[in-house]
């Protein structure tokens, strides 16, 4: 795991002043008898300085040099030296090689190993690069550098095949690959057929823009069908219209089906408007027509279009796999066609029928059809599960829900042995130093080396150290799901209580959101840029602060638990109010955004479970279900009393 840019900047701002003092003033470092806290403080400052190229080993005290994390300082200094190394930097290479030899595959070596190989490639130190190259753990850039090294050293046995394999990658490669490709061209290895094959692989991977660049090397006649394929990917509607207007234009059925599926996914009504014409003129075989029908039915179902169900009826049974059948059933639920829903579930695979969702909906269909005994049987079958559908079935039976606890008994002796293994000692120290991502890397290395029989006890250790995301991930890998005291912690009690006092939302609900969003990691960062415990984007946080008359946060503030939890609770409270207390809708908006939810709201009121089941985003649908279940568990943990989920039976409507 790597530092997010924002987190890294915040951390460096906090410590850089100390690093600069270390480098320029030779401040007093702790003696051997000084406190662990003092040594950690000096380590953090020295490590930060080392990353900036400041300080040297001569000023490091014996206490620091004997500290378990001191190799991180050494590695950071070596990595910085390698960045600046000139062609003949033999000393930096020698020291790095010695360090890597001494520390093997410890996590501390990972960034340094990559930095060294990058430096060797930049300085054209080809022999050393080949000696230390590891195909299993290097980047595309280094993979091509290795090919360039083989060319430079005339190690050409099997080289043409290796470069050809790299050339045919279905994605754009870094510029460092070009020398190898040029060598292959000069040796007659890249002809028009191979260029066309690469373009086809890129197009099959959806990489239309770069495929056009590759196709420029081909004669116009050979490039034309590839560019037409790129048009189908980038402009499916216009390309389909052009093909309908020109019956003689050639196109492969697979390419046309892919374009139609893209159009159906993004604009299902436009796909529907062109469907009959395509079946008459282009997709004339039963197989092609059925696949197009399936794509259209799915697009309409995702859009909650009432015509979806009738389109599904024309899909050949061979194309109705479980995934398609799930959306057929959802379309039937949206339309309140319980017979169609039952028919769809009846032909799912036996494994899919056993899924809690479809056992629940079989019960709902039976209840709607007046088969009370069958409905109760299906609902009762969910009683031993612990999930959203368990709670929904209990609500329909008028019962309360109590989670089923399955404890993972702690073995204190085993936990102690794990804690004192070298990787775990380093992980704990890194955690205490505030270097959470590095701590996780050390943890993962230590966990991988454990005997299988001892691995479950690592869950307890992670939980005790506050590595809640690691604890949950480790428990999942060991099949531990129902030790709720272990896996549903309630950290940040003061901050949560303050947020609840401000917003008046339920504390179990807020904990449910925090658990699902970040597993209680204050430094969590998503690919979309949401950060912190409640996973807030900066613009959302800023707007929420304004609405609630709270101080405007900086981006760094969003990593502060108090600020992030307060703004997350305020955001959730705003959504609950906006959607008139319709909790599934508010949760969906928290995850997917209000604009998406506005598209999903029905014109007429419908049951909340039907609406939730038809959320088109898989992530958001799962999010709503999980947060509701998490909130139930956190509520139960407060007083150990079974919980009513009757309120979950409410309806969803667009409202005013």
- pLDDT score for 9: 43
- pLDDT score for 33: 56
- pLDDT score for 655: 72
Looking only at the bridges linking them, the beta strands covering 400-401 and 606-607 are unpaired
At 88, the pLDDT band (50, 70, 90 cuts) reads low
- Of 408, 413, 474, the closest CA to residue 447 belongs to 474
Is pLDDT at 596 greater than 90 in this prediction?
yes
Burial degree of 154 (CB within 10 A; 0-12, 13-18, 19+): exposed
Is pLDDT at 12 greater than 50 in this prediction?
no
Residue spans per domain, the chain:
5-175, 412-480, 493-652
Is pLDDT at 238 greater than 80 in this prediction?
yes
| pLDDT tens per residue across span 621-641 | 999 999 999 999 999 999 999
- pLDDT score for 90: 83
| pLDDT tens per residue across span 134-161 | 887 779 999 999 999 999 999 999 999 9
Q: Collapsing DSSP states into helix, strand and coil, what is residue 183?
A: helix
| pLDDT tens per residue across span 501-554 | 999 999 999 999 999 999 999 999 999 999 999 999 999 999 999 999 999 999
Verify whether residue 106 is a known catalytic residue: no
Section 79-85 average pLDDT: 91
| pLDDT tens per residue across span 299-342 | 999 999 999 999 999 999 999 999 999 999 999 999 999 999 99
Give the residue ranges of DSSP H helices in 303-355: 308-312, 322-334, 338-346, 350-353
- Residues whose CB is less than 8 angstroms from the CB of residue 220 and which lie 6 or more positions away in sequence, other chains included: none
- pLDDT score for 34: 77
Two tokens at 404?
């089923």
- Of 345, 342, 361, 363, the closest CA to residue 353 belongs to 345
Is pLDDT at 22 greater than 50 in this prediction?
no
- The CA distance from 509 to 157, in Å, is 63
Is pLDDT at 20 greater than 80 in this prediction?
no
Q: Given the residues 495, 507, 517, 613, select the one marked as catalytic.
A: 517
Question: What are the DSSP calls for 115-167, one per residue?
Answer: HHHHHHHHTT-HHHHHHH--GGG--HHHHHHHHHHHHHTT--TTHHHHHHHHH
Phi, psi of 490 (to 5 degrees): -130, 70
- The CA distance from 587 to 535, in Å, is 13
Please tell me the pTM assigned to this model: 0.92
- pLDDT score for 13: 41
- pLDDT score for 16: 43
Q: 493-652 belongs to which CATH class? A: mainly alpha
Two tokens at 487?
């896996």
CB 192 within 8 A of CB 219: yes
Is pLDDT at 15 greater than 60 in this prediction?
no
- pLDDT score for 219: 97
Is pLDDT at 66 greater than 60 in this prediction?
yes
Section 65-91 average pLDDT: 91
- pLDDT score for 8: 44
CB 367 within 8 A of CB 375: yes
Section 442-468 average pLDDT: 97
Is pLDDT at 17 greater than 70 in this prediction?
no
Percent of the residues in the chain that have a pLDDT greater than 90, as a whole number:
92
Is pLDDT at 6 greater than 60 in this prediction?
no
- pLDDT score for 25: 40
Is pLDDT at 3 greater than 60 in this prediction?
no
Is pLDDT at 389 greater than 70 in this prediction?
yes
More confident residue, 32 or 105: 105
Two tokens at 193?
């057929």
Nearest-Å Rg of the Cα atoms of the chain is 30
- pLDDT score for 135: 80
At 2, the pLDDT band (50, 70, 90 cuts) reads very low
Is pLDDT at 257 greater than 50 in this prediction?
yes
- Of 420, 458, 427, the closest CA to residue 441 belongs to 427
Mean pLDDT (the chain, rounded): 93
């Amino acid at each position: 795991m790597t530092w997010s840019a924002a987190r890294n900047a915040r951390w460096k701002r906090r410590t850089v002043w100390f690093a600069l003092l270390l480098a320029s003033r030779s401040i007093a470092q702790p003696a051997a008898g000084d406190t662990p806290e003092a040594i950690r403080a000096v380590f953090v400052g020295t490590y930060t300085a080392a990353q900036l190229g400041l300080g040297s080993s001569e000023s490091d005290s014996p206490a620091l040099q004997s500290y378990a994390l001191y190799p991180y300082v050494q590695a950071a200094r070596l990595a910085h030296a390698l960045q600046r190394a000139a062609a003949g930097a033999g000393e930096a290479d020698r020291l790095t090689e010695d360090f890597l030899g001494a520390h093997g595959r410890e996590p501390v070596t990972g960034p340094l190993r990559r930095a060294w190989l990058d430096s060797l490639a930049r300085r054209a130190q080809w022999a050393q690069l080949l000696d230390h190259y590891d195909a299993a753990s290097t980047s595309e850039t280094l993979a091509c550098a290795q090919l360039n090294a083989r060319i430079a050293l005339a190690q050409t046995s099997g080289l043409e095949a290796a470069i050809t394999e790299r050339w045919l990658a279905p994605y754009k490669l870094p510029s460092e690959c070009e020398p190898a490709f040029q060598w292959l061209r000069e040796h007659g290895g890249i002809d028009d057929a191979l260029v066309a094959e690469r373009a086809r692989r890129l197009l099959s991977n959806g990489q239309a823009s770069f495929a056009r660049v590759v196709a420029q090397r081909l004669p116009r006649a050979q490039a034309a069908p590839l560019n037409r394929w790129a048009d189908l990917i980038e402009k499916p509607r216009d390309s389909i219209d052009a093909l309908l207007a020109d019956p003689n234009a050639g196109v492969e059925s697979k390419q046309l089906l892919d374009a139609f599926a893209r159009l159906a996914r993004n604009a299902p009504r436009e796909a529907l408007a062109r469907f009959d014409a395509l079946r008459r003129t282009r997709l004339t075989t039963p197989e092609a027509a059925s696949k197009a029908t399936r794509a259209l039915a799915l697009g309409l179902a995702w859009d909650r279009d009432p015509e979806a169900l009738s389109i599904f009826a024309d899909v050949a049974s061979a194309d109705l796999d479980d995934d398609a059948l799930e959306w057929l059933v959802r379309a039937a639920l949206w339309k309140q066609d319980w017979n169609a829903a039952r028919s769809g579930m009846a032909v799912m695979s036996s494994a899919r029928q056993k899924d809690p969702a479809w056992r629940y909906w079989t019960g709902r269909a039976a209840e709607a059809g007046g088969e009370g005994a069958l409905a109760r049987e299906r609902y009762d079958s969910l009683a031993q599960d612990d999930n959203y559908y368990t709670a929904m079935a209990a609500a329909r039976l008028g019962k309360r829900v109590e989670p089923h606890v399955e404890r993972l008994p702690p073995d204190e002796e085993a936990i102690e042995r794990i804690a004192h293994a070298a990787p775990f000692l380093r992980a704990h120290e890194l955690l205490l130093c505030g270097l959470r991502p590095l701590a996780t890397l050390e943890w993962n290395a230590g966990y991988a080396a454990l005997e299988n029989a001892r691995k479950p006890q690592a869950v307890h250790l992670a939980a005790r150290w506050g590595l809640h995301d690691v604890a949950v991930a480790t428990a999942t890998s060991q099949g531990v799901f129902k030790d709720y005291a272990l896996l549903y912690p309630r950290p940040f009690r003061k901050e949560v209580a303050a947020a609840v006092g401000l917003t008046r939302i339920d504390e179990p609900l807020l904990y449910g959101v925090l658990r699902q969003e970040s597993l209680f990691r204050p430094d969590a960062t998503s690919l979309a840029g949401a950060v912190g415990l409640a996973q807030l984007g900066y613009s959302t946080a800023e707007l929420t602060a304004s609405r609630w008359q709270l101080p405007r946060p900086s981006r760094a503030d969003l990593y502060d638990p108090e600020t992030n939890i307060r703004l997350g609770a305020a955001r959730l409270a705003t959504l609950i109010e906006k959607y008139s207390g319709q909790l599934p809708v508010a949760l969906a908006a928290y995850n997917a955004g209000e604009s998406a939810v506005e598209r999903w709201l029905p014109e007429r009121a419908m049951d909340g479970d039907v609406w939730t089941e038809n959320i088109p985003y898989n992530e958001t649908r799962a999010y709503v279900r999980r947060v509701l279940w998490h909130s139930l568990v956190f509520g139960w943990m407060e007083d150990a009393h079974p919980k009513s989920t009757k309120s979950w039976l409410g309806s969803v409507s667009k409202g005013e």
